[in-house]
Amino acid sequence: MEFSITTLVLFVLLATSIGIAQSADIPISKFGGVVNSDITQALTNAWNEACQSTSPSKIIIPKGSYRMKAVDLKGPCKAPIEVYTDGTILAPPNPKDLNNEWQWVKFEYVDYLTLSGSGVFDGQGATAWKQNDCGKNPNCARLSMNFGFNFVKHSVVRTITSKDSKNFNVNVLGCQNFTFDGFRINNPGTSINTDGIHMGRSTDVKILNTVIATGDDCISIGDGSVHTTIFNVKCGPGHGISVGSLGKFTTENPVEDLLVKNVVFTGTQNGLRIKTWPSAPGTSPITGIHYEDITMNNVMNPVIIDQEYCPWNQCNKQSPSKIKISKVTFKNIKGTSGTQAGVSLICSSGVPCEEVTLSNVDLTYNGAPATAVCKNANPIIQGKAPQCTAAPAA
């Protein structure tokens, strides 16, 4: 993926242009949505009015605290819509009060959506985290995410905060030309399964100028993610930026053209990670992955390819991953590792990694240069970077 400052400026200008046309204001107070009230119906009614309008609309939620149950804000709509909030919107603390909805605030089949303002969407997830036993119970209760963006095109989320989601903070599915700019995610590191932004089957997703603190992956890139840009992001606490996990299903699509640039990881479990399942049927490749200008501040596993990913002993490693990983570049990676092996490239014996480049990778562990361990990978070394040693037998 080619990248330049000019390209980034064009991204931001395009995102900013959404909703610039003069819009008609629709305050939620028009439908009885006032401070310290439940605005579930008020927001739904405001959305329905905006969606039927043939000219741009701006739904306004002013400062103050509001309660809200699950909402499904669905298109297609006849003109661009902006949802602007400066308020704090609270989900029910008890997960059961969301009636098993997979996503608390859901936008579907919408083009030219803007979600903006200084507002906070607070999932009040503490009760849910205590109930989460999905690591050991395959039939665990389904917990709600804060946001779902499903089949949304040419849209932007700007300066909003997602707080304390019960599950993933954001899920992006089937979207095109979708931008997060100045977005914030705020969950404690102890919160379970609270990925920041997860995406799949989407094209041209851009995550810019965003700060993510959470208890799982800051950003997770699922199958079918193509032309993804992550620029100027801060991650921590959390589990880093992950491609995968992939390979469980034969219906998965390839992951192609990912750029991660100018990112700072602080105190995270992982930094840059690609993970695939062994003994699994999926074969869709991962290719064209570029990481550049990355800072690691006490990251346990700064650079890691793991094609033997098998958490909670949910699988076995009797047969290798079938997913081919190729054309992966780690360039200008610096900082401190929490483990001696700052670089770990554990690739598949069935389809070894190809064209993996370590270029100016300068990591230290306890003041000494961090090492690299490799398995079924022979990386290209450019500039200063650790030489591979064989990974220990599993």
| 275 lies in some domain | no
Asked if the structure places residue 195 within a domain, the reply is yes
154, 198, 227, 239: the active-site residue: 239
H-type alpha helices, the chain: 5-17, 40-52, 126-131
Structural domain total, the chain: 1
Instruction: Report which of 83, 87, 138, 70 is spatially closest to residue 113, judged by C-alpha positions.
Output: 83
Note the pTM of the prediction, 2 decimals: 0.94
Let me know if residue 383 belongs to a domain: no
Query: Per the domain annotation, does 345 fall within a domain?
Result: no
Tens digits of pLDDT across the chain (394 residues): 444 544 554 544 444 444 445 789 999 999 999 999 999 999 999 999 999 999 999 999 999 999 999 999 999 999 999 999 999 999 999 999 998 899 999 999 999 999 999 999 999 999 999 988 876 777 777 899 999 999 999 999 999 999 999 999 999 999 999 999 999 999 999 999 999 999 999 999 999 999 999 999 999 999 999 999 999 999 999 999 999 999 999 999 999 999 999 999 999 999 999 999 999 999 999 999 999 999 999 999 999 999 999 887 777 888 999 999 999 999 999 999 999 999 999 999 999 999 999 999 999 999 999 999 999 999 999 999 999 998 776 5
Q: Residue 285 domain-assigned?
A: no
Closest among 390, 391, 388 to 370, alpha carbons compared: 388
Q: How far apart, in whole angstroms, are the C-alpha atoms of residue 22 and residue 362?
A: 50
CA dihedral 270, 278, 168, 272 (to 10 degrees): 20
Q: What is the CATH number of the domain that holds 113?
A: 2.160.20.10
Q: How far is CA 369 from CA 19, 157, 336, 366, in A?
A: 50, 40, 9, 8
Residue 266 placed within a domain: no
The dihedral sign for the CA sequence 47, 69, 171, 291: positive
The answer to whether position 375 is within a domain reads: no
Per the annotation, the verdict on 239 as an active-site residue is: yes
Instruction: Judge whether 309 lies within some domain.
Output: no
- Strand partners of residue 362: 334
The whole domain housing 39 covers: 5-216
